[in-house]
Amino acid sequence: MRKRLYNALNHPETAQSLNNLAVCFTRLGDPHKALEYDFKAYEMLKRIFKDKEHSKIAESLDNLAYSYEQVGDLQKAKEFYLQAYEMRQRLEK
């Protein structure tokens, strides 16, 4: 629906839908599938904002970190949480 509504594969609302799917997969007990959808959302947001820093990308980094936590990769989770934190710090300046 959002693909048709926005007539594009690269729209923040479509990325939000991907994130919503990730949340659903987490709740269904499939954290690996959730990670896959969080990564798709992150990649889409990077394309949308042309790799520039943006609060939505920082939020997506947090989502990825949480998904990595859920699959048990705490080192990767820490890396993504740190990236999100550092990006937010730069955005606040």
Domains by residue range for the chain, with CATH: 2-92 (1.25.40.10)
pTM of the model: 0.88
Q: Are 41 and 15 within 8 A, CB to CB?
A: yes
Contact 2, 11 (CB under 8 A): yes
* pLDDT tens-digit series, residues 41-65: 999 999 999 989 999 999 999 999 9
Q: State what percent of residues in the chain have pLDDT above 70.
A: 91
- What is the rounded average pLDDT for all residues in the chain? 92
